[in-house]
């Protein structure tokens, strides 16, 4: 029996396109020039974001870093 917990990840199309923008206090992951996914960054103000493997790491104005594995799911790192 495998006791590893599978972690969900963003669809590869976002990673493959590779563009992350912070606009109006929100983080957007782009899959094309027009289509994007917005991360739930409520409770903080994002200042930078980058891909780290299958996840996105977002640095917040309060100095904390959030590691997003899905649109609504993050861990403080």
How far apart are the C-alpha atoms of 39 and 60, rounded to whole Å?
13
How far apart are the C-alpha atoms of 14 and 77, rounded to whole Å?
22
Q: What pLDDT band is residue 7 in, cutting at 50, 70 and 90? A: low
CATH topology of domain 12-76: Thrombin, subunit H (2.40.10)
CA distances (Å), 54 to each of 32, 36, 39, in order? 18, 16, 14
Q: What pLDDT band is residue 9 in, cutting at 50, 70 and 90? A: confident
The pLDDT of residue 2: 43
The pLDDT of residue 28: 97
List the domain boundaries for the chain.
12-76
How far apart are the C-alpha atoms of 23 and 26, rounded to whole Å?
5
Predicted confidence (pLDDT) per residue in 16-64, tens digit? 999 999 999 999 999 999 999 999 999 999 999 999 999 999 999 999 9
How far apart are the C-alpha atoms of 67 and 14, rounded to whole Å?
16
The pLDDT of residue 5: 42
């Amino acid at each position: 029996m495998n006791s590893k917990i599978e972690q969900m990840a963003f669809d590869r199309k976002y990673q493959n396109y590779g563009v992350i923008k912070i606009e109006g206090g929100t983080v957007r992951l782009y899959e094309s020039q027009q289509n994007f996914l917005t991360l739930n960054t409520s409770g903080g103000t994002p200042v930078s974001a980058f891909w780290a493997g299958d996840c996105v790491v977002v640095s917040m104005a309060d100095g904390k870093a959030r590691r997003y594995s899905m649109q609504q799911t993050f861990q403080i790192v």
